[in-house]
Amino acid sequence: MIFVSHVLGIPRRGCGFMPCPHGRGLPMSAPQIKIIHDEPNPTVVLWVSRHDPLYSQIKALKQRLGSVRIVKLSGVVPNADYVVKVAEQYHAKVIVPVLPLSFIARLAELAPKKGVTVLFAKMEELCRTTNKKEAEALVSQNPYARTMVEYSNGIYRVWEFKGFEKLVKVEIVTEPW
């Protein structure tokens, strides 16, 4: 089964942007920006997450875009408009967000108007266990593409990156409950 992991992307420990529903989030902090990968004559990618990309994610971006500069935006992000402003400031052509769905829906509206593509990381859940060593062993079989998430209820989940997909539209459909 393939999931758009934890709302597009994958948290490694906690969610980072809001109080984590799993109880593992860090204290909320002001937005921070840093360049985490840089090559000559790059396409700029804005990586919006508490966590750095996996090696396989960087490789996938480079295969499609050529040389890349990855600018990481982390901490508390006030809204999607802010993300788009940061993308414009750094001349990003691609945004990879790990954000709440409402933010991502708004990014899907705003970013294309600015010529920016929004991608999400497809992640496949490989394992859900209470045995940390089992989860670590599974990650060690392919550490470039796998990550482990520890939840406050003692569950470890192992995820594997399967590729990026372009976000075209987000439609949230609800009904009375």
Express each pLDDT in 136-145 by its tens digit: 999 999 999 9
Q: Does any domain span residue 125?
A: yes
Residue 91 falls in which region: left (phi positive, over 0), alpha (psi -120 to 50) or beta: left
Q: Does any domain span residue 173?
A: no
Compute the average pLDDT of residues 151-177: 93
Q: Are 29 and 149 in contact (CB under 8 A)?
A: no
Q: Which residues contact 120 (CB under 8 A, 6 or more apart)?
A: 4, 8, 9, 96, 97, 104, 164, 165, 167
- Cα gap 128→134, rounded to integer Å: 10
Q: Does any domain span residue 68?
A: yes
Q: Are 86 and 34 in contact (CB under 8 A)?
A: no
Q: Where are the beta strands (DSSP E) in 107-155?
A: 117-129, 146-150
Q: Does any domain span residue 176?
A: no
150 vs 23, 49, 56, 65, 132, CA distance in Å?
10, 17, 21, 32, 8
Compute the average pLDDT of residues 146-156: 93
Q: Does any domain span residue 130?
A: yes
Q: Does any domain span residue 95?
A: yes
| Collapsed DSSP state (helix, strand, coil) of residue 132 | helix
How many independent structural domains does the chain possess?
Answer: 1
When pLDDT is cut at 50, 70 and 90, the band that residue 15 belongs to is: very low
Q: Which residue range is the domain that position 126 belongs to?
A: 2-166
* Range with the poorest average pLDDT among 25-34, 57-66, 94-103, 131-140: 25-34
pLDDT in tens, 63-113: 999 999 999 999 999 999 999 999 999 999 999 998 888 899 999 999 999
Q: Does any domain span residue 31?
A: yes
Query: What pLDDT is recorded for position 27?
Result: 54
Q: Does any domain span residue 175?
A: no
